[in-house]
Structure 1
Amino acid sequence: MRVLITGGAGIVGTLLRPRLRQDGRVLRLLDLTTPEPGGNDEILTGSVTDPEAMAAACAGVDALIHLGGRSREASWEDTVDVNINGTHTVLEAARQAGVGRIVLASSNHAAGFRELGENLPADSAPRPDTYYGVSKAVIESLGSLYHSRFGMDVICVRIGSCFERPPGIRGLATWLSPDDAGRLFDACLTFPSPGYRVIWGVSDNTRRVYSLAEAEALGYRSQDDAEKFAAEMTGPAPTGIAAKFVGGPFCTAPLGVPN
């Protein structure tokens, strides 16, 4: 099985690569920055906005994990160009190459203005909190379109925060541990005929407010909990809007300004 990972040199791509390598699986890594190879990885340099680069990257691929794009708030123009138009370029190249399985990196910010509540469903309708969140909502819609029109299996993963350690107090709820990320994305690659799905990408954290039922239906089983880092977290707990909505402080951050 050959799996193309766009954004293979990024934060999530770097954490995933060693956890997705296994016998019988070749990882093909695409990024603007050359990823550090390992195992039998195939390394490509290119942009998700380049149709020729994406056509070459998708050749002979069985599945695609699309992580490439802007991972932070940016201007509207840059967000549209890279995240929205870039994802369309990726999906179109995958369609033409006959890639049958697509995993799209969405974000909690696609639903940032959803009120926090116990077991928030993964397929809650989008309520983005930023331009970045808008781009992720559009990515989910593009995935739905390519599934419905062309029969491609598409799974959109609304990632909370995937780092080695939770990024602050809010991260105690949103954290997706690197090991759980490997388990989750492996489930996305191997579950038979998933159709179109939207799932949360979080660990089974004590402070979790996100439903894991949709991800567990694909075979995902979290083994980590951010609470083990709670004693290390400093600073005041979120208040006001930051404590009310999924997007936390991003709900009031300036639009179009890198954060």
Structure 2
Amino acid sequence: MADQRVLITGSAGVVGTLMRPRLRREGRVLRLLDLAPQPPAEPGEAVELLTGSVTDAKAMAAACEGVDAVIHLGGHSRENSWEATLDVNINGTHTVLEAAREAGVSRVILASSNHAVGFRRNDEGSIAGATGLPADSSPRPDTYYGVSKAAIEALGSLYHSRFGMDVIVIRIGSCFETPLPLGPRGLTTWLSPGDGARLFEACLSAPSPGYRLIWGVSDNTRRIYSLAEAEALGYQSLDDAEVYADQLADQPAPTGIAAEHVGGPFCTAPLGEFNPL
């Protein structure tokens, strides 16, 4: 049986670095693309390391050749200028999707964000009688970054509807080794690395998903997001950020707009300015 080849863009970033060892499988080759340097392959690790930008059509065409699926993580992961956000996040995603289409790649997984709906209220899911904010809630972005993620979602929908590609868009909460870097908010938004890998595996293996919009979070005690859509693809969360709650007990919780909305502090951060939130 031929190896499955999965292209991961932005593979040197936070999520890509966490997923690289966790998505290793017998019979799978990970093709890893980033502009930043990447560690060489470890003994027995089936990887192909590429240096390139998601905005480079020729580089993306070469990267997509012979690929079975694309996990698109590349792009600015925080607020930045409108020009940079448009170029890398929106135009870059179009370049990735077009390269995948031309190469005959049948499945693309796009990394969106909770910031695509950052100005939705935290309690909207419970008010509607649902078990969390539905994954297909219409966009209410909190930043230029959030706007770019909403545009990515729309591009994914277009490429499914026009060209029949299976496109799964994941609205990621926050994927770090632990929720501690985000303070108390991380107890709500955390996607553990292990759950992240389980979610990507579900997205890679679900039969004929079509176009799906799902949340990428763990089954946290303080979760405000619906997991029904991800579970329908076969995702099962095994982790809960609450195990870190005691370590965050002395940190102040968000207040005001940041406490009321999905985007937290992004809702009040200056537009167009890089920030490390």
Same fold per superposition (TM over 0.5):
yes
Q: Which residue of 2 aligns with 1:42?
A: 48
Q: Which residue of 2 aligns with 1:232?
A: 247
Contact 1:34 1:44 in 2 (8 A): no
Q: 2:237 aligns with which of 198, 204, 222?
A: 222
Structure 1: runs of 5 or more not aligned = none
Kindly provide the CA deviation profile for residues 171-230 of structure 1, in whole angstroms up to 9, marking residues without a partner as x: 100000000000000100000000000000000000000000000000000000000001
Contact 1:108 1:246 in 2 (8 A): yes
Kindly provide the CA deviation profile for residues 20-48 of structure 1, in whole angstroms up to 9, marking residues without a partner as x: 11011110000001322341101100000
Q: Say if 2:245 is the partner of 1:242.
A: no
> Where in structure 2 are the equivalents of 1:125-144 lying within 5 Å?
125-144=138-157
Q: What is the distance in 2 between the residues matched to 1:201 and 1:35?
A: 25
Q: What is the distance in 2 between the residues matched to 1:242 and 1:171?
A: 13
Kindly provide the CA deviation profile for residues 85-140 of structure 1, in whole angstroms up to 9, marking residues without a partner as x: 00000000000000000000000000000111241000000000000000000000
RMSD across aligned positions (CA)? 0.7
Taking structure 2 as the reference length, the TM-score comes to 0.92
Structure 2: runs of 5 or more not aligned = 127-131
Q: What is the distance in 1 between the residues matched to 2:16 and 2:202?
A: 16
Q: 1:73 aligns with which of 79, 97, 111?
A: 79
Q: 2:158 aligns with which of 126, 141, 145?
A: 145
Q: Which residue of 2 aligns with 1:252?
A: 268
Per the alignment, in what secondary structure is the counterpart of residue 170 of structure 1? helix
Q: What is the distance in 2 between the residues matched to 1:44 and 1:105?
A: 20
Q: Say if 2:224 is the partner of 1:209.
A: yes
Show structure 1 runs of 4+ deviating over 6 A. none
Per the alignment, in what secondary structure is the counterpart of residue 169 of structure 1? helix
Larger displacement relative to structure 2 (182-191 or 233-242): 233-242
Q: Which residue of 1 aligns with 2:129?
A: none
Taking structure 1 as the reference length, the TM-score comes to 0.99
Aligned residues: 259
Identity %: 75
Per the alignment, in what secondary structure is the counterpart of residue 182 of structure 1? helix
Q: What is the distance in 2 between the residues matched to 1:237 and 1:168?
A: 8
User: By how many angstroms is 1:239 displaced?
Assistant: 1.4
Kindly provide the CA deviation profile for residues 221-253 of structure 1, in whole angstroms up to 9, marking residues without a partner as x: 000000000111132111111111100111011
Letter in 2 for 1:18: P
Q: Which residue of 2 aligns with 1:82?
A: 88
Q: What is the distance in 1 between the residues matched to 2:159 and 2:36?
A: 28
Q: 2:212 aligns with which of 171, 185, 197?
A: 197
Per the alignment, in what secondary structure is the counterpart of residue 2 of structure 1? strand
